[in-house]
């Protein structure tokens, strides 16, 4: 049986913990005020879709495709993005709570995050070349062998990034953010 194809749907206030989202490809669709909390949306393809004010916390996203997807005002705690399809992964996050999520080894070039909470997020091995972390809280986020070349962290805060364990060539940081790069040296910066 072939997967279903859905185009230009607008889905509002659906609780997918009670009714399962049909497997298939969703293109140009909008999901508004929907609940996906702890649901299995594995292998579903989201192409040029918008999620607004949705709760996707702890959703199972094994093999899920996110291509040109925008998340706004969403709760997305504890997601394992490394399990989703890495092929052409492209997501934008605005005013989202991504706390405790993982992006291990995920190619995320030019990813854009604005006003997001990324506390205790694991970015290890991710390719964040050219990414923007605009007004994003990176408290206790883990950066290890992460490519942050040309990334803009000039307005990001609460980060700790070891320049010896990550690629940061031509990345942008503010003067205030220097403490997040030098933390391991236990310096007093004034």
Q: Report the chain (190 residues): mean pLDDT per 10 consecutive residues.
A: 84 95 97 98 98 98 98 98 96 98 97 98 98 98 98 97 96 86 70
Residue 74 lies in a domain: yes
Residues 175 and 105 in one domain: yes
CATH number at residue 58: 2.160.20.80
Q: Count of domains in the chain?
A: 2
Q: What is the pLDDT of residue 3?
A: 77
The pTM score is: 0.94
Query: Residue 179 is inside which H or E element, if any?
Result: helix 178-182
Residue 181 DSSP class: H
Residues 16 and 67 in one domain: yes
d(CA 129, CA 123): 12
């Amino acid at each position: 049986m072939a997967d279903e194809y859905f185009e230009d749907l607008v889905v509002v206030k659906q609780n997918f913990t009670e009714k399962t989202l049909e497997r298939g490809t969703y293109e140009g669709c909008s999901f508004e005020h929907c609940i996906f909390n702890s649901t299995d949306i594995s292998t579903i393809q989201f192409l040029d879709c918008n999620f607004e004010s949705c709760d996707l916390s702890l959703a199972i996203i094994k093999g899920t495709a996110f291509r040109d997807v925008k998340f706004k005002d969403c709760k997305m705690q504890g997601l394992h993005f490394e399990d989703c399809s890495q092929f052409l992964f492209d997501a934008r996050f605005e005013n989202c709570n991504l706390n405790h999520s993982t992006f291990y080894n995920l190619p995320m070039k030019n990813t854009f995050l604005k006003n997001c909470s990324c506390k205790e997020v694991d970015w290890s091995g991710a390719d964040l070349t050219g990414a923007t972390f605009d007004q994003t809280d990176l408290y206790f986020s883990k950066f290890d062998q992460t490519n942050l070349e040309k990334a803009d962290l000039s307005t990001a805060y609460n980060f700790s990034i070891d320049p010896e364990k990550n690629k940061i060539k031509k990345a942008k940081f503010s003067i205030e953010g220097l403490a997040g790069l030098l933390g391991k040296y236990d310096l007093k910066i004034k």
